[in-house]
Structure 1
């Protein structure tokens, strides 16, 4: 036998994520930081996709490579990482929890490439990599972004 709720007029709690799902439920407000980080990650994914397209066209036109299958593997890595970053941007924008770690790791990778590029004689390319990465890292640790991006995937459907 089940007990009635203590406040029958209040909204029901969803046990999957703890949010109210009754008539008084309001969707959380998306902070601007989420939009900025999602756009930065999507632009990085687009840059990787463009690099993969250029790399693939060079591979098809017969540019000299040491190992053909190594070049094909590199092309596959570029495409896979681009698809992964697009997924991170999409699900971060929707407020899921797991893309925050993926976005942080991607920004750390960009920092490890951007800093040597900046100090190696290509200051504009280095700054173009470093500034968005630093902005994204700072915004990923903003309290409003963490609060918004804390949704779990939910419970699996039952039979």
Structure 2
């Protein structure tokens, strides 16, 4: 149980006190969390780069079957990249929800990486498989799980 605030008018903020009485900012961030966040941020940057290249090809008049389908694909690339950046940021800050998002992304990367590796592009396949495997292993480290267990605090009622 957390301690009541010293000033009764002052409500405790998010992560103000856990079950053991420590504040979220007092907990030491494991190096594995920084590694996971960095890998996910690099994946998001790669998606942004792909979206930039895709958009430049679309503007330059590269032939496409459906213009609006290509615009939709560009929007998906941009949206997914922004979402991945949010996952990296909030996992680095210790929130709980990005762990699931990071795991799903790495599983999707694995499903693309294996066919790429066996399809004649070993370097590209390894560039996808190795970071995904590292993130999956680190996501299940007990220090990462204990650090990334912060929930979003409820906003004040009034």
TM over 0.5: yes
- State the Cα distance separating 1:21 from its structure 2 match: 6.0
- The separation in 2 between residues aligned to 1:16 and 1:36, in whole angstroms, is 25
Q: CA RMSD in A?
A: 2.0
Residue pair 2:13, 2:153 contacting (<8 A) in 1 also: no
Matched residue, 1:149: 148
Matched residue, 1:90: 89
- The aligned length equals 147
- State the Cα distance separating 1:15 from its structure 2 match: 9.9
Normalised by the size of structure 2, how large is the TM-score? Answer: 0.88
Matched residue, 1:6: none
Matched residue, 1:40: 39
- State the Cα distance separating 1:154 from its structure 2 match: 0.8
Deviations 1:2-32, CA, capped at 9 Å, x for gaps: xxxxxxxxx826697552268xx97100001
Deviations 1:46-80, CA, capped at 9 Å, x for gaps: 00000000000000000000000000000000000
Residue pair 2:41, 2:85 contacting (<8 A) in 1 also: yes
Normalised by the size of structure 1, how large is the TM-score? Answer: 0.87
5 Å-filtered alignment, 1:1-159, equals 12=3, 18-19=17-18, 20=21, 27-159=26-158
Unpaired runs of 5+ residues, structure 2, are 5-11
